[in-house]
Amino acid sequence: MTKLFNIANSNAITESANILKEGGLVAFPTETIYGLGADALNEVAVKNIFIAKGRPQDNPLIVHVSSQDDVEKLAHLNENAKKLIDVFFPGPLTIVLKKKDIVPDVTTAGLDSVAVRMPDHKLTLDLISKSNSFIAAPSANTSGKPSPLNAKSVEEDLYGKIDAIIDGGNTDIGIESTVLDLTSEVPLLLRPGLVTVEDIEGVVGKIDVHKSITQSKVDLDSPKSPGMKYTHYSPNANVVLVENSNVVDIAKQKGESVCLITFQKDIDVKVEKLIQVKDNRDLSSKLFDVFRECDREGIKYIIVEAPKNDGFGLAVLNRLKKASNEIC
């Protein structure tokens, strides 16, 4: 049985923290997406996350902390880490550092590094601190499916497989945190997010961007972050990413059963579902939920106008490329 808690219920956090202390699994909102949490230091609990999600064992988890000071309990800090924690914690930035022995191998999938993040979400911070531990949490979806932006999406994938879900409404950002590897001298961006390359370079100087982010297809031979080599964010519908053509023409070509996602305001096209977005933030806050809605409605094609490849656009485009079956 999966318990459903509403965030407005005053006991939700205390009861959920107790479940985590006992080694259970709780899904909770963050500012990015919903996470599926377990005590990061409890090997059995962490193993259960992999089972519930159907997640490959070699894909490490992010450990969530409730204060800046806690990072040092899990990892060896360096100068770049100190500066970035100061500016971006709490927030949608995950940093990868050399791990301390306290972190079990199952949490980091056997790597000698650990990914750490402090979410910018009051409820989640309360939950982590009341659990008296650190919370390992991947996205609260079945592996390969779009990340969940609300409790309904978590239920769809994980009801009956986890102990509780905290319903805190729709998340704000809608795509996962930026992941930055700080174990090498020059930091390496492993996953783009709302904290942009420019934001990071403003604090630590020039960084490298992993080639899988700039290429359209991932190099399966040398994934720096194990998560890079798996299919991601895929709805059942075919996602068509339109970079170099006119979205309206492509929508017309595909004919019936089309969801069109576009930045354009005045367009003349008949489609089953039309999502007009203002900017990248608007798009990211809706994207994964629109994917899930289209699957519920049996839509065949999701045609998306590509954002510009700069700033936050890099992150949105990265998710779209990973989800797409066709780029034109």
Binding site for ligand TXA (CB under 6 A): 30, 32-33, 35, 59-62, 94, 96, 108, 111, 113-115, 117, 119, 137-139, 176-177, 179, 190-191, 225-227
Choice between 139 and 171, CB closer to Mg ion: 139
Best CA proximity match to 322, nearest among 114, 146, 93: 146
| Beta carbon nearer to ligand TXA, 119 or 192 | 119
Tell me how far, at minimum, the Cβ of 30 lies from ligand TXA, in Å.
5
Is the CB of 192 or the CB of 260 nearer to ligand TXA? 192
Closest approach, Cβ 168 to ligand TXA, in A, equals 12
111 contact choice in ligand TXA, Mg ion, none (CB below 5 to 8 Å, kind-dependent): ligand TXA
State the binding partner of 107 from ligand TXA, Mg ion, none, CB within 5 to 8 A by kind.
none
Based on its alpha-carbon atoms, the radius of gyration of the chain, rounded to whole angstroms, reads: 19
Is the distance from CB of 236 to CB of 252 less than 8 angstroms? no
What single-letter amino acid sits at 33? I
Which residues sit at the interface with Mg ion, rule CB under 5 A?
139
* Whole-angstrom distance, CA of residue 91 vs CA of residue 98: 21
Q: Pick one of Mg ion, ligand TXA, none as the site partner of residue 113 (Cβ within 5 to 8 A by kind).
A: ligand TXA
Q: Which sign, positive or negative, has the C-alpha torsion 93, 87, 17, 47?
A: positive
* Identity of the residue numbered 11: N
Residue 219 vs 249, nearer CB to ligand TXA: 219
Q: CB 225 → ligand TXA: shortest distance, Å? A: 4
CB nearer ligand TXA, residue 177 or residue 324: 177
Find which of ligand TXA, Mg ion, none residue 304 binds, CB within 5 to 8 Å per kind: none
* Measured CA distances, 20 to 9, 17, 133, 162, 301 (Å): 18, 5, 9, 11, 40
Nearer to Mg ion, 107 or 139 (CB): 139
| Shortest CB 43 distance to Mg ion, Å | 21
* Closest residue to ligand TXA: CB criterion: 227
- Least Å distance, CB 286 to Mg ion, is 18
SS3 of 98-156: the string is EECCCCCHHHHCCCCEEEEECCCCHHHHHHHHHCCCCEECCECCCCCCCCCCCHHHHHH
Which amino acid, residue 307?
P
- Residue 137 binding result from ligand TXA, Mg ion, none, given CB thresholds of 5 to 8 Å by partner type: ligand TXA
Burial class (CB in 10 A: 0-12, 13-18, 19+), 266: exposed
